[in-house]
């Protein structure tokens, strides 16, 4: 069955010039030539110029068979237009002149790709948006070969419905030479045959494109934007080498004529040199040509592994930066691979960045749901404007008995996957990425920026300061329930917190958290008579006893290494304050209420954790970090001052310019004991200076305890509760408005 006439009935609101059109909707009309051409595809170029006021759009028309040329126009504006046809043959009267009018009214449909206008790059260059400013979150699927006949029309409709239901709004699809295949192999054909009759693309087969029209139009009707790939450029299927620049220009002109009126993205070619992006090489010349003939300037990129460079003088020929990942699941989630997005995000001028190809789900029986989630969230929270998924079976339109992916790179004999497209359609990762998009779109995601300083190194954070934070915590271990640490909370902001399961969409409420500002030091130095004033300048150290590794005295310093637990045997009481000088490149701690090596209080500074806190050591167990406060910056020489009073304790750290204090914490050790110094395992050498002890100078009221004010913390670090289960999670903090 031929589709040349049937295709006209498939458009959302097919309109001839005489009947008018709606804004953003494809209007189509044809022109017939009395003059005959031996090869109309090559012999003549036809354009139609649409005008409204001082604006005009020169739209390529395509040869649609016989003596006819067709133009498709998506009016960007409402109002009255005039249009006229022109062609490269000035002697052809039917294809030159004959001005007509077109009236364009408001769009009345509900297609999400159309009702907010054309998709374009946002004003800040970080994401996509419609012409009315509505953000567009790219969630793409990979259907490289799904225009071939292996993917039947019924199958195409089934897959489209599935992807629409799961939240996909972009499909990457090749309309040209395929990867892993020779040029114009029979397997490339669809119901209308092959697209061209020669490798140089000198004679087109319109019937192939009629069938392609039906599929691409069906995607648009379903609210899915085609991201059309025009060719492939890898060494074993190098279109530039085989077809040549002239043939590829003819091909791209034909694609622009047929599909630029659709809400599409352009992907110049797959796996071509990175230099294309910054305007170098023959592929860049093709990109410039494409931009010149596209009347709508649809967003253009090229499919490469790395991002653009930011060298001075580069002339970028792309509108958004598509980067790659890796098909090996281990490498795909490695921080170095995620850093490809991070690097591209930092380049000037800003452009939307997203991954176009990485570990397909099920590819060679690996890369399943947990890997897909980690890739998605790792990229999105690193600044990506969206993400592209792929599944074994689907990208190569595999059916039982014909996988369609015997790679030419391996001599045409090595099959990647025997997975069929129907099997790949049901992999769980696709559903889980749709869940992720749905969550993000409940927030102003387009304003999110990466904030690695908000969390620990193995997590990824993004959001809007003072409004919302998303923190992705990958699975840390099969029996590891530990939550992450949220850093740099803004004072006075109350956040509602919950864990979000990226695999199912379940939410687990964690209440609220509010950082009330830095803790004011509860005491200022020794205000009572000193009970001990030790400067370590005397050889006699009889009053000190080492319970850990040996210490020694050098130049008025008490020097030790890992494992120091040393105690002043002559000082022992319940309520004491002790202070000591130390170096900040190693752990330093003050011991209070020492009973034996397994039972004591220690107030410490950790350069590894950049924090101060308390341990209430009991029966050889450290317990939790009490009153932990982050120390973002400190000088080389510090002073610690620790005090205990009854069941309360506090620690103050200063370098003379900056001061940090723990909140007053509650301890279980309430028995009189000795005082001393401590260094466990961080740092090779600690040099303790003057050590002074006095009666404690503070008597805190019970209502000063942070533990008695649920959700209120006195430090800008929030230690998230234990995970609901040991898997990957999103921790969401959303501001609570009064």
Residues 24, 158, single domain; the answer is no
Residues 448, 433: Cα–Cα separation, whole Å: 18
Residues 375, 460: Cα–Cα separation, whole Å: 11
Contact 198, 241 (CB under 8 A): no
Reported as a pLDDT band with limits 50, 70 and 90, residue 157 is: very high
Residues 93, 197, single domain; the answer is no
Asked, for residue 347, whether it belongs to a domain, the answer is yes
Asked, for residue 672, whether it belongs to a domain, the answer is yes
Asked, for residue 522, whether it belongs to a domain, the answer is no
Q: Is 16 exposed, middle or buried (0-12, 13-18, 19+ CB in 10 A)?
A: middle
Residues 272, 191, single domain; the answer is yes
Helix (H) or strand (E) holding 734: strand 729-735
Enumerate residues 6+ apart whose C-beta is below 8 A from 401: none
Residues 134, 255, single domain; the answer is yes
For the segment 389-434, what is each residue's pLDDT rounded down to a tens digit? 999 999 999 999 999 988 766 677 789 999 999 999 999 999 999 9
Number of domains in the chain: 4
Predicted confidence at residue 636, as pLDDT, reads: 97
Contact 339, 307 (CB under 8 A): no
Predicted confidence at residue 700, as pLDDT, reads: 72
Residue 703 scores a pLDDT above 60? no
CA-CA distances (angstroms) from residue 549 to 180, 244, 563, 678, 686? 65, 75, 5, 10, 12
For the segment 239-263, what is each residue's pLDDT rounded down to a tens digit? 999 999 999 999 999 999 999 999 9
Asked, for residue 538, whether it belongs to a domain, the answer is yes
The mean pLDDT value of the chain amounts to: 93
Reported as a pLDDT band with limits 50, 70 and 90, residue 159 is: very high
Residue 21 scores a pLDDT above 80? yes
Please give the structure tokens belonging to residue 462: 């993004």
Vertex 16: Cα angle to 14 and 17 (nearest 5): 140
CA-CA distances (angstroms) from residue 584 to 562, 578, 613, 650, 656? 15, 18, 15, 19, 13
Domain harbouring 695, CATH code = 2.60.120.560
pLDDT > 70 in the chain, percent: 95
For the segment 304-326, what is each residue's pLDDT rounded down to a tens digit? 999 998 777 678 999 999 999 99
Contact 153, 214 (CB under 8 A): yes
Domain boundary among 58, 74, 109: 109
Residues 73, 287: Cα–Cα separation, whole Å: 22
Asked, for residue 121, whether it belongs to a domain, the answer is no
- Give the total residue count for the chain: 738
Residues 142, 257, single domain; the answer is yes
Domain boundary among 75, 109, 143: 109
Residues 47, 40: Cα–Cα separation, whole Å: 14
Distant-in-sequence contacts of 6-10, Cβ < 8 A, 24+ apart: 6/210, 7/210, 7/213, 7/214, 7/217, 10/213, 10/214, 10/217, 10/218
Residues 603, 680, single domain; the answer is yes
The DSSP 8-state label assigned to residue 489 in this structure reads: P
Residues 331, 202, single domain; the answer is yes
Vertex 693: Cα angle to 687 and 699 (nearest 5): 125
Residues 616, 675, single domain; the answer is yes
Residues 323, 430, single domain; the answer is yes
Residues 509, 631, single domain; the answer is no
For the segment 498-545, what is each residue's pLDDT rounded down to a tens digit? 999 999 999 999 999 998 877 788 888 899 999 999 999 875 677 899
Residues 367, 343: Cα–Cα separation, whole Å: 24
Asked, for residue 79, whether it belongs to a domain, the answer is yes
Domain harbouring 7, CATH code = 2.60.40.10
Contact 594, 682 (CB under 8 A): no
For the segment 609-639, what is each residue's pLDDT rounded down to a tens digit? 889 999 999 999 998 999 888 888 999 999 9
Predicted confidence at residue 8, as pLDDT, reads: 39
Give Cα 58 to chain centroid, integer Å. Answer: 37
CA-CA distances (angstroms) from residue 466 to 97, 404, 440, 489? 60, 51, 17, 8
Please give the structure tokens belonging to residue 395: 């990208």
Residues 713, 737: Cα–Cα separation, whole Å: 18
Please give the structure tokens belonging to residue 197: 């009759």
Domain harbouring 176, CATH code = 3.20.20.80
Residue 702 scores a pLDDT above 60? no
Reported as a pLDDT band with limits 50, 70 and 90, residue 79 is: very high
For the segment 24-74, what is each residue's pLDDT rounded down to a tens digit? 999 999 999 999 999 999 999 999 999 999 999 999 999 999 999 999 999
For the segment 546-604, what is each residue's pLDDT rounded down to a tens digit? 999 999 999 999 999 999 999 999 888 999 999 999 999 999 999 999 999 999 999 99
Q: Is the peptide bond before 349 cis (omega within 30 degrees of 0)?
A: yes
Q: Would you tell me the crossing angle of helices 153-166 and 428-440 to the nearest 10 degrees? A: 40
Asked, for residue 455, whether it belongs to a domain, the answer is yes
Please give the structure tokens belonging to residue 307: 């991002």
Pairing of strands 300-303, 386-388: unpaired
Residues 284, 232, single domain; the answer is yes
Predicted confidence at residue 311, as pLDDT, reads: 75
For the segment 627-685, what is each residue's pLDDT rounded down to a tens digit? 888 888 999 999 999 999 999 999 999 999 999 999 889 999 999 999 999 999 999 99
Asked, for residue 114, whether it belongs to a domain, the answer is no
Considering only CA atoms, which of 588, 593, 602 is closest in space to residue 634? 588
Predicted confidence at residue 414, as pLDDT, reads: 85
Residues 212, 365: Cα–Cα separation, whole Å: 31
Enumerate residues 6+ apart whose C-beta is below 8 A from 712: 513, 514, 516, 706
Considering only CA atoms, which of 324, 293, 221 is closest in space to residue 11? 221
Contact 255, 59 (CB under 8 A): no
Pairing of strands 588-596, 321-324: unpaired
Task: Find the mean pLDDT for residues 159-165.
Answer: 98
Residue 145 scores a pLDDT above 90? yes
Considering only CA atoms, which of 720, 205, 207, 321 is closest in space to residue 510? 720
Residues 521, 491: Cα–Cα separation, whole Å: 17
Domain boundary among 429, 447, 465: 447
Query: Which range of residues forms the domain containing residue 590?
Result: 530-700
Contact 308, 278 (CB under 8 A): yes
Residues 425, 357, single domain; the answer is yes
């Amino acid at each position: 069955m031929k589709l040349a006439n049937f295709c006209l009935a498939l458009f959302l609101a097919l309109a001839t010039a005489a009947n008018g059109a709606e804004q953003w909707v494809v209007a189509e009309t044809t022109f017939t030539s009395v003059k005959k051409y031996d090869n109309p595809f090559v012999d003549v170029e036809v354009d139609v110029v649409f005008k409204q006021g001082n604006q005009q759009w020169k739209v390529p028309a395509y040869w649609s068979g016989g003596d006819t040329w067709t133009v498709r126009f998506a009016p960007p504006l409402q109002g009255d237009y005039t249009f006229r046809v022109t062609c490269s043959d000035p002697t052809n009267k039917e294809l030159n002149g004959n001005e007509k009018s077109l009236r364009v009214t408001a769009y009345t449909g509900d297609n999400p790709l159309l009702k907010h206008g054309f998709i374009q790059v946002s004003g800040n260059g970080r994401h996509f948006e419609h012409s009315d400013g509505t953000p567009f979150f790219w969630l793409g699927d990979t259907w490289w070969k799904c225009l071939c006949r292996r993917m039947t029309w019924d199958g195409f409709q089934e897959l489209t419905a599935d992807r629409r239901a799961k939240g996909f709004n972009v499909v990457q699809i090749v309309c040209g030479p395929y990867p892993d295949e020779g040029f114009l192999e029979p397997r490339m054909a669809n119901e209308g045959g092959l697209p061209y009759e020669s490798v140089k693309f000198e004679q087109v087969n319109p019937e192939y494109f009629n069938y392609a029209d039906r599929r691409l139009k069906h995607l648009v009707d379903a609210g899915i934007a085609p991201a059309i790939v025009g060719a492939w450029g890898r060494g074993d299927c190098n279109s530039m080498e085989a077809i040549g620049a002239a043939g590829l220009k003819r091909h791209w002109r034909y694609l622009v004529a047929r599909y630029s009126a659709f809400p599409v993205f352009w992907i110049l070619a797959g796996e071509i040199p990175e230099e294309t992006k910054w305007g170098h090489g023959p592929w860049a010349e093709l990109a410039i040509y494409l931009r010149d003939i596209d009347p709508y300037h649809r967003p253009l990129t090229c499919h490469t592994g790395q991002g653009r460079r930011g060298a001075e003088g580069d002339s970028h020929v792309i509108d958004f930066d598509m980067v790659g990942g890796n098909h090996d699941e281990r490498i795909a989630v490695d921080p170095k691979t995620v850093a490809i997005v991070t690097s591209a995000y930092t380049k000037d001028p800003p452009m939307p960045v997203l991954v176009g190809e990485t570990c397909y789900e099920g590819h060679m029986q690996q890369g399943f749901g947990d890997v897909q989630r980690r890739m998605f969230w790792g990229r999105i929270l690193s600044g990506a404007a969206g993400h592209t998924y792929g599944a074994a079976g689907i990208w190569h339109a595999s059916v039982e008995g014909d996988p369609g992916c015997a790679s030419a790179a391996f001599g045409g004999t090595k099959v990647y996957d025997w997975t069929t497209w129907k099997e790949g359609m049901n992999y769980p990762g696709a559903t889980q990425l749709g869940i992720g998009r749905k969550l993000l779109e409940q927030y102003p995601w387009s304003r999110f920026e990466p904030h690695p300083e908000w969390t620990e190194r193995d997590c990824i954070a993004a959001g809007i300061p003072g409004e919302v934070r998303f923190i992705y915590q990958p699975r840390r271990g099969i029996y590891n329930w530990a939550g992450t640490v949220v850093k740099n909370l803004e004072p006075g902001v109350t956040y509602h917190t919950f864990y979000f399961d990226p695999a199912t969409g379940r939410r687990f409420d964690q209440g609220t958290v509010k950082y009330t500002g830095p803790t004011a030091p509860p005491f200022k130095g020794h205000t009572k008579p000193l009970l001990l004033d030790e400067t370590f300048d005397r050889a006699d150290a009889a009053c000190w006893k080492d319970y850990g590794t040996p210490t020694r005295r050098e130049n008025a310093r008490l020097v030790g290494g890992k494992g120091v637990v040393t105690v002043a045997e002559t000082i022992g009481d319940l309520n004491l304050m002790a202070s000591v000088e130390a170096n900040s490149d190693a752990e330093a701690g003050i011991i209070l209420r020492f009973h034996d090596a397994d039972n004591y209080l220690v107030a410490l500074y950790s350069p590894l954790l950049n924090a101060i806190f308390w341990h209430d050591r009991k029966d050889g167990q450290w317990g939790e970090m009490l009153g932990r406060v982050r120390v973002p910056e400190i000088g080389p020489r510090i002073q610690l001052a620790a005090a205990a009073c009854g069941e309360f304790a506090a620690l103050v750290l200063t370098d003379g310019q900056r001061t940090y204090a723990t909140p007053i914490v509650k301890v279980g050790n309430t028995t009189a004991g000795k005082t001393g110094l401590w260094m466990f395992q961080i740092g090779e050498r600690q040099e303790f200076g003057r050590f002074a002890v006095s009666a404690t100078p503070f008597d805190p009221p019970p209502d000063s305890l942070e533990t008695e004010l649920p959700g209120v913390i006195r430090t800008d670090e929030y230690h998230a509760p234990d995970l609901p289960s040991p898997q990957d999670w999103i921790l969401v903090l959303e501001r609570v408005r009064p």
